[in-house]
Amino acid sequence: MIKKTLLLEKVNKLLKSFRYASIYRRLRLPLKDFQDFKRLPLTDKDILRNVRPNPKAAPFRITATSGTTESRLLILQPKACYERHVARVSETYAACGIRPGDTCLNLCAYELNGGGSIMEEAFRRLGVTVIPFGIIRTRPQMLEAIAIIKRFKPSVINSYTNQLYGVLEQLKNGHSVNKCIVNGEPLFAGYKRNIEKYFGVRIYNNYGSMEFSGFAMTAGRPKESMKLFDEGLFIEILKDDGETAEQGKGRIIITDLENLCVPLIRYCLGDRVELKYEKGEGRLTVFGRTNDSILIDGEIFSKREILESLQEILARPDFFLVIGKNPRSYKDTLVLHLRPSHAAKQKEIFKRWNVARKAGDLLRIRLSSVAVPKNSTGKFQHIIDARPHD
């Protein structure tokens, strides 16, 4: 965690660069203490779209957030910022045991909002040979990637979560891959362990964003939370009561202390996380997007938290939840739909759910093998679907 004096020094430098922007124009600079920093406005993509880049800071690299051509947000980086991002990503890879001499098949996109190029550079600086394949979108591309693995025998695959299983399932056993780094939505702990067991690989969840690159990685067992690599960043948590803190559970807020091109100052990334510091080391648990949150008895949970709790009880995913959104009382309800074969576990589910969540009165259980129910207009209701799909 950065010292407060250094934080203020860097933030004052940033604010001086963005003094032309209306959201910072009336600030009295320099900021004198940490409370001044905490009074700075929070920003998001919509606000950032209305702030033009700093005309005096020449960009070295341009990337973009996800979205369509019309809605994506361009992120400009000066050289010092780019170098810091690459160094941070290299640190996360080194924490996975990536070493000089490894060969990595990079299945991440090289498009403007893909991140593949900065990942490749981070690997190369560790002495890793990179095969720059890019994202798999078609079956012929999948078969081509499999052929490359069989011929060149990479020890590492860098991939998005949604394409990793398809690659490993095609490879079966006897392949050269021993480590897989997954980007995007983190794999559930149980699913991650099963893939490792079935395919003989170690899987590492990588967390980051196009605005800040990677800055957290699962590193070392038995902990499934991610080790934080925050050099060049200042991270805050916006708690459910509206206050900000340097650790705890809530929305993640990040300040990029190196980017003098665009003002990523107290930027709300849109994810719900929990941040803890243990012996000076930051550990990050990612629950999912803030928009996926559910309010239960006045406490906010993410769909991911609820799904993982039920998966632990039921041992394998074979159910779906219907969420009853109640905007008037702000108290959502959950109906758990189980197959009849799970009937004997109903009491156990209630008991363990009450211990874990203390919200059993908001959970209902129905035995059903029918399709996901629709509302009166024929649309799908809010659901969390954990059933296996063909």
253/319 same-domain check: no
304/180 same-domain check: no
281/306 same-domain check: no
141 inside domain: yes
96/52 same-domain check: yes
If one compares 378 and 339, the residue with the highest pLDDT of the two is: 339
Amino acid in the structure at residue 2? I
* pLDDT value for 358: 47
Q: Pick from 226, 259, 288: which residue ends a domain?
A: 288
Mean pLDDT, rounded, for 63-74: 76
Q: What is the C-alpha separation between 168 and 180, in angstroms, rounded?
A: 10
58/18 same-domain check: yes
What CATH number is associated with residue 274?
A: 3.40.50.12780
113 inside domain: yes
The mean of the pLDDT values for the chain is 83
Mean pLDDT, rounded, for 175-190: 85
248/360 same-domain check: no
225/302 same-domain check: no
231 inside domain: yes
Mean pLDDT, rounded, for 115-122: 96
261 inside domain: yes
What CATH number is associated with residue 375?
A: 3.30.300
Domain span holding position 301: 297-385
180 inside domain: yes
* pLDDT value for 354: 60
Is residue 381 over pLDDT 60?
A: no
* pLDDT value for 350: 67
Structure tokens at 380: 């799908």
If one compares 41 and 188, the residue with the highest pLDDT of the two is: 41
pLDDT digits (tens, 9 = 90+) for 287-318: 776 656 665 555 666 666 677 777 776 666 56
Number of Cβ within a 10 Å radius of residue 323 = 17
7/140 same-domain check: yes
If one compares 290 and 10, the residue with the highest pLDDT of the two is: 10
Q: Pick from 288, 317, 333: which residue ends a domain?
A: 288
Is residue 198 over pLDDT 70?
A: yes
Q: What is the C-alpha separation between 315 and 311, in angstroms, rounded?
A: 6
351 inside domain: yes
Mean pLDDT, rounded, for 216-243: 86
169/304 same-domain check: no
Give me the number of domains the chain comprises: 2
Least confident of 62-66, 68-72, 190-194, 327-331: 327-331
Q: Determine the Cα angle at 28 with ends 26 and 34, to 5°.
A: 120
* pLDDT value for 280: 82
154/275 same-domain check: yes
362/255 same-domain check: no
390 inside domain: no
Looking only at the bridges linking them, the beta strands covering 179-183 and 156-160 are parallel
Residues 6+ apart with CB under 8 A from 188: 304, 307, 308, 311
349/277 same-domain check: no
